[in-house]
Amino acid sequence: MSTIRLDFVSQDHLVFSDDVNEVIAPGSEGTLGILPRHAPLMTVLGPGEVIVRREGQTELYFAVSGGWMEVRPDHVTILARTAERAEEIDLTRAEAAKARAEQLLATGAPREERVGLEMALRRSQVRLKVASHRRRGWRPSGPGVAEEFSEEG
C-alpha cells in the first residue's frame, strides 16, 4: 500500500513525523480524508480529531484546537495551535472544563463571552472524544513518534 509523509507539529513540539497511509482531519469545510497522491490544498483546521492510519499498526488519535494543513501529493504538513495524543488527555480536567463551560453558558453569559465559552465547550468535547480511543497501558513508540513520547522518554 502506498504512503504519504506526515509532519505534524504544534506550537511547542513535534507531534508526529512518519510515512502513513491516511490522515483524517477537521477541515474548515468538514472532515477531510487524505490519501497518497491527494490533490494539493491548503485549509484551516477547526477544533477536532486528527486520525493517523498506518498499515498493520494501531490508529493514532489526536485532539487539535485548530491550525492549518497543507497537502501535496506526497506530503502532509499539519501546524496545530495545540495537539494532544489520546493518552495525554487528562480526563478529569477535560470533564471539568466541559462542565464549567456548560454551566456558564446555561447561566446566560454576556454575548461577548459566549463565543469563547462555546469554543471552550467544543475543545473539551473534542478532548473527551479523542480520549475515549485510548487503551490502557498502550503508548505508541517507534518510527514517527516524537522521542518525548516513546517508551524510553
**pLDDT tens figures, 15-61:** 999 999 999 999 989 999 999 999 999 999 999 999 999 988 889 99
pLDDT at 110 over 90: no
Distances in Å between the alpha carbon of 148 and those of 24, 37, 59, 93, 121?
A: 24, 31, 19, 22, 29
Query: 3-state class of 122 per DSSP?
Result: helix
Mean predicted confidence (pLDDT) in 125-152:
61
Q: What one-character DSSP code corresponds to residue 39?
A: P
Which is nearest to 139 in space by CA: 153, 128, 129, 125?
Answer: 153
pLDDT value at position 148? 40
| pLDDT of 67 | 96
Q: Look at residue 90 and tell me whether its pLDDT is greater than 80.
A: yes
Indicate the residue type of 47: P
pLDDT > 70 fraction of the chain, expressed in percent and rounded? 88
Taking a C-beta distance cutoff of 8 angstroms, is the pair 102, 129 a contact? no
Rounded CA gap, 20 and 75, in Å? 10
Cell 490502557 locates to 136
For residues 20 and 3, the answer to whether their CB atoms sit within 8 Å is: yes
Q: Determine the average pLDDT of the residues in 117-137.
A: 83
Kind and range of the H or E element at 116?
A: helix 111-131
Spatial contact of 65 and 123, defined as CB atoms under 8 Å apart: yes
Kindly list the structural domains of the chain, giving each domain's residue range(s) and its CATH number in brackets, ordered by start: 1-148 (2.60.15.10)
Amino acid sitting at position 103: Q
Q: How far apart are CA 19 and CA 5, in angstroms?
A: 4
| Residue 136 pLDDT greater than 80, yes or no | no
The angle that helices 111-131 and 91-106 make with each other, rounded to 10 degrees, is: 150
CA distance 70 to 25: 11
pLDDT of residue 152: 35
% the chain with pLDDT above 90 = 61
pTM, rounded to two decimals: 0.80
